[in-house]
Amino acid sequence: MEHAVFRKVFEQAERLLARAKSASEVKLLASVVEGLLQSHSKTETDLAYAALDHVLADRGALDRLHQDHHEIDSQFKRLHRATDAAQARLQFKKALSATRKHFQHEEERVFPLLEKTLQPDTLKALGRQWAESHPACAAA
C-alpha cells in the first residue's frame, strides 16, 4: 500500500521539480521525500526484512535489498551536495528512479516470497505491526 502512495508522491514531486528555480528549492522538496522514505525503510527493515532474513540470506537477496537502500541514500546525499539547480534536479531524478526500481524488485520478488514463505498468522501479525506504526495510513 505504501508503494502506491509513494508513487503518487513521486509524481507530485516531479511536477514541482520542473518549477524549482534553485538548488535550495530542489533540496527542500527532496528532503520531504527523503524523510518519508527513511520511515518506510525503517519499517521494511524492522518488519519484512527481519521476517525474511533466514530465507533471503542464503540467496544474497537480503544483501541486494540493503544495497538498494544504500544506493538510494547515496543519491540523496549527492543531491544535497549539489550546487546548482540542474545538478540537484538530476540527482533527485536519479534518487526517485533508484527508489522506483527498488519498489519494483520488492513487489516482483520479495512480497511474493513473503506470501509463499510465511504462515498466514505471521503475515497478519506483520500487518498489525505495520498498522500500529502507521495509524494514519491504517485508518484510511
Higher-scoring residue by pLDDT: 26, 119: 26
Answer whether 6's CB lies under 8 Å from 44's CB: no
Higher-scoring residue by pLDDT: 39, 91: 91
Q: Is the pLDDT of residue 47 over 70?
A: no
Residue 119 pLDDT:
75
State how far the Cα of 11 lies from the Cα of 17, in Å rounded to an integer. 10
Q: Once rounded to an integer, what is the mean pLDDT over residues 61-75?
A: 85
Q: Once rounded to an integer, what is the mean pLDDT over residues 101-110?
A: 88
Phi, psi angle pair for 84, to nearest 5°:
-130, 160
Mean pLDDT (the chain) is: 84
Residue ranges per domain, the chain?
2-134
State how far the Cα of 109 lies from the Cα of 90, in Å rounded to an integer. 28
Confidence of residue 17 (pLDDT cuts 50, 70, 90): very high
Q: Once rounded to an integer, what is the mean pLDDT over residues 100-125?
A: 82
State how far the Cα of 40 lies from the Cα of 35, in Å rounded to an integer. 9
Answer whether 136's CB lies under 8 Å from 88's CB: no
Q: Is the pLDDT of residue 136 over 60?
A: no
Considering only CA atoms, which of 19, 41, 39, 17 is closest in space to residue 30?
17
